[in-house]
Structure 1
Amino acid sequence: MYTRADLDEGGERPGTPAPVHDLRHHGDAEVRDGAAGLVDLAVNVRAGTPPRWLREHIAGSLSALAAYPDSRAARAAVAARHGLPEERVLLTAGAAEAFVLLARALRVRRPVVVHPQFTEPEAALRDAGHEVGRVLLRPEEAFRLRPEAVPESADLVVVGNPTNPTSVLHPAELLARLARPGRVLVVDEAFMDAVPGEPEALAGRTDVPGLVVLRSLTKTWGLAGLRIGYVLAEPGTVAALERVQPLWPVSTPALAAAEACMRPAALAEAERAAAEVAADRAHLLAGLAEFDEVRAVPDAAGPFVLVRVRRAAEVREVLRGLGFAARRGDTFPGLDGGWLRLAVRDRATTNRFLQALDQALTAVG
């Protein structure tokens, strides 16, 4: 067991053993090994992706596999998309690799992770030998962040926006208030492109000291199996991360995908997809509101919702028997077994799920 850094009332008392959470459990575990035929509500990758044009573009890159990957064009495309110089961009094998690089490269003494959120940042920090502090956001406050809950002593702060699994979108200016000299502020924006207009994005900002923004192309474009993401940060931070990165970390097909997804037509398609997700999420939330046994975290902004369900573990198992895989919530620090995360799907799929949920709730009593 490890002990946490000193945290104020928004976190947990120093010196207390960390509760056991399976930080390496992710949604894909719900749909592996004998889960054939399940409707996947556990993984937050947009259904029906990658689109045909992107598959064909990636396939076209295969003729170049004999050469070592050349990341220059993709890096330039990402930089142009965010209006940044290229030295502020680092391409990675998915956003998850970026957390490992940060944990290995940065000389920090008091890292803090704001939970509930994606567990890989804490897992990577712990694997690199860091003692990790936690700030636990509260369900009674709808998992909203209070900047004063983050201890002043923290020299690395990690927060998601919109946050997985709560689907909370924090105001950009509130997050910027966490920045200060001598602190690295890591904002995981892996789901930001699923928010219409990206109104609270910090990607592209150069006025926030110590800011590191992570992006992923996995969710909107369905590239989980290809592994492509990127880091936006000050040039010195990018250089430090690049030094601990293996040679040629991003494959030629992944680089081709990154370049293609930065094009104006692709960005317009992503914006349309975000609007569709918002409409489908509203339909899901309206259906969930019909059940007295279910409470959704309000103001969801991502392509998923977090719900508190009476006898959630039993409901989840019944749902599996009815053909639907939901993501358990108890592996996220700050949540217990009463929570489930549900990916947003099209209305027809949602309607079938709501019928199954009605059956499951009735079955468990």
Structure 2
Amino acid sequence: MHDLRHHGDAEVRDDGSALVDLAVNVRAGTPPAWLREHIAGSVAGLAAYPDGRAARAAVAARHGLPVERVLLTAGAAEAFVLLARALKVRRPVVVHPQFTEPEAALRDAGHTVDRVLLREEDGFRLDPGAVPEAADLVVIGNPTNPTSVLHPAADIARLARPGRILVVDEAFLDAVPGEREALAGRTDVPGLVVLRSLTKTWGLAGLRIGYVLAGPETIGLLTRAQPLWPVSTPALAAAEACVGPRALAEADAAARRTAADRSHLLTGLGEFADRGVRAVEGAEGPFVLLRLPHAAAVRERLRALGFAVRRGDTFPGLDQRWLRVAVRDRGTTDAFLEALGQALDASRAEPS
């Protein structure tokens, strides 16, 4: 059984201050000072109940949608719970490997969940024909966590059917330069539900803010499943700020730096190819997925050397051969690569 409730923060929860965090996909050095100051300024209004109208309108304008198609949530994770509880579906399907919270939320809500497992030999690329025709709810990430694969929007759109809800988790799409292959803002795909998170790029995991883009009927169902005032005043202030022109420009610049830093990481990892280290090709997210020998032992040795990486065996479709590594600046990456070499040497020196 895969532990669907294991997430990257578990790797650093107890002694994270002593470790370089390559397990959590939140962008390093965030939130920026201007955003911290903006959020702090909202504290003066905490005596009033949260009013999400301005933030909702800002998100709608950012994607060129009417406000009736926007729902603000306490992070994307809350959205998965709302979908699982509010939608009356009979055969939900989750495309794996991917973020495990959608399946966990569906199971907690009493649903029987089918899995479509993308294959390593196919580069973990989506085959729309692999999804059962009878599925009335399909969940897929883009770019997918943990594989870092960015699926063509056209391939995902091919999953849409009358009577089917198509949920696309775009939590890391703003980390892709130009947001290529985005479906957010599309209204021509039947049953489309897009989830966005503002916690990764902006370093707001502790604040919890995200949103859902969907048809008005679906938004209405999810709204009725939410408790009153689900998003705090500081989170609303963050949402409004993070979808403005300044923030979008900053996010795109950060995405381009991440792409360059990822290329540097992949080049360095290529030096270990003769020792069995393989990165999933075509990574487009702020993380890479590695297959390597003795991955569990290497992970523990990396911890001893001061680096936390994410185990891969909790993702359906993966096993103990896999690790996920967040993209960081070149200096951090070079130090990690040196530690990885030491960890691999120690692993190879041990008797099998």
TM over 0.5: yes
Q: Any unmatched runs of 5+ in structure 1?
A: 1-19
- Deviation, 1:36, is 2.7
- CA distance in structure 2 between the partners assigned to 1:230 and 1:355 by the alignment: 39
Moved over 4 A (4+): none
Select 1:298's aligned residue among 278, 281, 285.
281
Rounded Cα–Cα distance in structure 2 between residues aligned with 1:120 and 1:322: 30
Q: 1:267 maps to which residue?
A: 248
Aligned with residue 84 of structure 2, among 103, 121, 139? 103
Aligned mates of 2:193, 2:302 — CA distance in 1 = 39
Matched letter for residue 340 of structure 1: L
Question: Match for 1:97: what amino acid?
Answer: E
Report deviation, 1:224: 0.1
Aligned residue type for 1:272: A
1:197 paired residue number:
178
Secondary structure of the equivalent of 2:82? helix
Secondary structure at 2:219 match in 1: helix
Select between 222-231 and 27-36 the one with higher mean Cα deviation.
Answer: 27-36
Residue 223 of structure 1: how far off its partner (Å): 0.2
Match of 1:50 in 2: 31
SS of 1:121 mapped into structure 2: helix
1:283-324, Cα deviation, whole Å (9 max, x unpaired) = 000000110221000000000000001100000000000000
Q: Deviations over 1:229-284 (max 9, x none)?
A: 00000000000000000000000000000000111011000000000000000000
Matched, 1:335 2:318: yes
Offset at residue 173 of structure 1 (A)? 0.6
User: Residue 118 of structure 1: SS of its match in structure 2?
Assistant: coil
In the alignment, structure 1 residue 351 sits paired with structure 2 residue 334: yes
Q: Cα deviation per residue 1:94-144 (whole Å; 9 max; x = unaligned)?
A: 000000000000000000000000000000000000000000000011000
The aligned residue for residue 247 of structure 1 is: 228
Superposed CA deviations along residues 155-211 of structure 1, whole A, max 9, x for unmatched, are 000000000000000000110000010000000000000000011000000000000
1:64-109 CA-to-partner distances (Å, cap 9, x unmatched) read 0000000000000000000000000000000000000000000000
Which of 158, 167, 188 is the matching residue for 2:139? 158
Partner of 1:26: 7
Q: Which residue of 1 aligns with 2:307?
A: 324
1:217 and 2:198 matched: yes
User: What is the CA–CA distance in structure 2 between the aligned matches of 1:57 and 1:306, rounded to whole Å?
Assistant: 35
1:154 corresponds to which letter in structure 2?
A
Measured in 2, the distance between the counterparts of 1:328 and 1:155 equals 31
Q: Which amino acid aligns with 1:266?
A: A
Question: Which residue pairs with 1:144 in the alignment?
Answer: 125
1:116-155 matches, cutoff 5 A: 116-155=97-136
Partner of 2:212: 231
The secondary structure found in structure 1 opposite 2:72 is: strand
Aligned counterparts of 1:223 and 1:105: Cα–Cα separation in 2? 26
Within the alignment, does 1:180 sit opposite 2:165 as a pair?
no
Out of 284, 287, 292, the position equivalent to 2:265 is 284
CA RMSD for the aligned pairs? Answer: 0.4
Q: Which amino acid aligns with 1:150?
A: V
1:33 shift after superposition: 1.2
**What is the letter of the counterpart of residue 347 of structure 2?**
V
**Structure 1 counterpart of 2:344:** 361
Aligned partner of residue 300 in structure 1, secondary structure: coil
| Secondary structure in 2 matching 1:332 | coil
Deviation (angstroms), 1:37: 1.3
TM-score, normalisation: structure 1:
0.94
Say which structure is richer in helix.
2
Work out whether 1:79 is the aligned partner of 2:63: no
Which of 42, 59, 65 pairs up with 2:46?
Answer: 65
Count of residues in correspondence between the two structures: 346
